[in-house]
Amino acid sequence: MRAASDPAPPAAFAGHLHLEAEAGPAGPTILARQSFRAPFHIGKSYWDGHALQVRIINPTAGILEGDELELAIKVGAGAALLLVTPAATRAFQMKAGRATCRQDFAVAAGGWLECAPEPLFPHRASDYRQDTRLAVADGGELYYVDALAPGRAGGGELWAWRRLRIGLEVELGGRLLLRERLDCAGAELERLAAFHGAAEAWLATVVLISAQLNPEVGLWEQVRALAGPGCQLAPTRLREAGWIVRIAADSSPKLRGALEALRTLCAAALPRLRSDLRRV
């Protein structure tokens, strides 16, 4: 029971976004199926010459306590899909509960998926769990970015979240390439960043799946050369056609610059990355 004088609990969403991209009869990729429910919405999609661009929009401006979100994205053979967000994802303050998000991305043989959202900003006292599964068939290609901000620097809320759990699982042809999880309070990462002499740490994980990428390609030496003062990059081969690149920067502009430079370098081997992310 809730007394009449008690504040009402915050509204929560059980939202979903389901998309299936397929090669259209005329060649360019089309959305063969789509379904979404608040807080998800998508902008008008368009073929940019390299991929079908779809912008995922959150009309509530962020993730709220009690939200249970689900993304299920499928890319068929011969289709090319690019998912972006026009603004950062914000996990707002949560007084007692938490919010969860489950993401499943599946790419068929001959398909291409790029997912390049803006960073996640965990606000003060937020408790957020995100589990992502990337399942790529043999012969499929993927470029996936997961970026994390240390909080709202302008609002004095660095490292102020209560708990953050980010899980990632990567499969190629049904074979497990990677399974990892970050589970920590903001204060734990703050101590780690301080140990390395950084008040802020802007982090990103980039997963690449493509048979066009191999250890002999000079690309990886060029990627390592992007590192500099306040920004480190570490590419690692997962297995077979899988790679992962870790990025740690001491500011948002440096992280953004590193992600843009990495994407530009990879576009030489993966032409689908030549899509312009800045177009609205």
Q: Are 193 and 199 in contact (CB under 8 A)?
A: yes
Q: Which two tokens stand for residue 93?
A: 């303050």
Structural domain tally of the chain? Answer: 1
Q: With respect to residue 11, please indicate whether it lies within any of the assigned structural domains.
A: no
pTM of this structure: 0.93
Q: With respect to residue 16, please indicate whether it lies within any of the assigned structural domains.
A: no
> How do residues 21-34 score in pLDDT, each as one tens digit?
999 998 899 999 99
Tell me whether residue 27 is exposed, middle or buried, using C-beta atoms within 10 angstroms of its C-beta: 0 to 12, 13 to 18, 19 or more: exposed
Q: With respect to residue 113, please indicate whether it lies within any of the assigned structural domains.
A: yes
Interatomic CA distance for residues 37 and 73, integer angstroms: 15
Interatomic CA distance for residues 198 and 36, integer angstroms: 40
Q: With respect to residue 66, please indicate whether it lies within any of the assigned structural domains.
A: yes
> How do residues 110-152 score in pLDDT, each as one tens digit?
999 999 999 999 999 999 999 999 999 999 999 999 999 999 8
Domain with 181, as residue range(s), is 21-273
Torsions phi, psi of 107, nearest 5?
A: -125, 125
Q: With respect to residue 205, please indicate whether it lies within any of the assigned structural domains.
A: yes
Q: With respect to residue 15, please indicate whether it lies within any of the assigned structural domains.
A: no
Q: With respect to residue 3, please indicate whether it lies within any of the assigned structural domains.
A: no
Interatomic CA distance for residues 126 and 20, integer angstroms: 32
Of residues 191, 117, 204, 203, the one with CA closest to residue 159: 191
Looking at per-residue pLDDT, the higher value among 216 and 233 belongs to: 233
Q: Are 91 and 121 in contact (CB under 8 A)?
A: yes
Q: With respect to residue 13, please indicate whether it lies within any of the assigned structural domains.
A: no
Q: Does residue 8 surpass a pLDDT of 60?
A: no
pLDDT at 5: 45
